[in-house]
Structure 1
Amino acid sequence: MNYTYMVRCADGSLYTGWTNCLEKRLKAHNESRSGAKYTKAKRPVTLAYYEGFATKEEAMKRECQIKKLTRKQKDRLMEF
């Protein structure tokens, strides 16, 4: 399974990415050097939203779509 996800950073900002293992990726964002450069200075991060996909390509496509949304649209997406 592949996932598109959003994490909420300690400063309230959102980061969007994709992964094939949510648990491992969230741990990387919070603890290791393999987390995203953006989230390193904004720890801790918490999982705010995710969607599952059969393929990596679908997850990456959805990541691009979400990154183009406004903050208000992202907040609305997380309400469901």
Structure 2
Amino acid sequence: MFWVYILRCADGSYYTGHTDDLERRMGQHATGGFSGYTASRRPLVLVWSQECFTREEALAAERQVKGWSRKKKEAMISGDWDEVSRLAKSKSVHPSTGSG
């Protein structure tokens, strides 16, 4: 199994990642085992995770979520799928600026 997950960092930002061992990865993040984004933003809290069958599925989900707005991520974290859907539609619907 693989996982896609979101961490809330001490500065209030979100980090999205994927892994094949969520417990091990959380330990690595908690101890600063990565020199990247989360190392200087501890402590971290796991706020959302989802199991995936393949690494490709987890990576695709990670990339998708990383492209979302903060509001959309927070709606998903809270389980408000109506709001996730509304935010998805509001981004894709653009009023016409033409005259015809």
Gaps of 5+ in 2: 80-100
Counterpart CA distance in 2 for 1:2 and 1:51 is 8
What's the counterpart of residue 41 of structure 2? Answer: 42
Amino acid at match of 2:26: L
Kindly indicate whether residue 90 of structure 2 is the aligned counterpart of residue 74 of structure 1. no
Deviating 4+ runs (over 2 angstroms): none
Percent same amino acid among aligned pairs?
39
- TM-score using structure 1 length: 0.94
Structure 1 vs Structure 2 CA RMSD: 1.0
Any idea what SS the aligned residue of 2:60 has? helix
User: How far off is 1:30 after superposition?
Assistant: 1.2
In 2 relative to 1, CA 13–71 (structure 1 residues): closer, same or farther, beyond 3 Å? same
User: How far off is 1:46 after superposition?
Assistant: 1.0
- TM-score using structure 2 length: 0.76
Amino acid at match of 1:73: K
Task: Note if contact 1:29-1:36 (Cα within 8 Å) is conserved in structure 2.
Answer: no
User: How far off is 1:54 after superposition?
Assistant: 0.6
Amino acid at match of 1:22: L
What's the counterpart of residue 55 of structure 2? Answer: 56
**1:13-61 Cα deviation digits (max 9, x unpaired):** 100000011111011011043x251000000111010111110000000
Larger radius of gyration: 2
Which of 1 and 2 has higher RCO (CA within 8 Å, sep 6+)? 1
Task: Note if contact 1:10-1:44 (Cα within 8 Å) is conserved in structure 2.
Answer: yes
Give the length in aligned residue pairs: 79
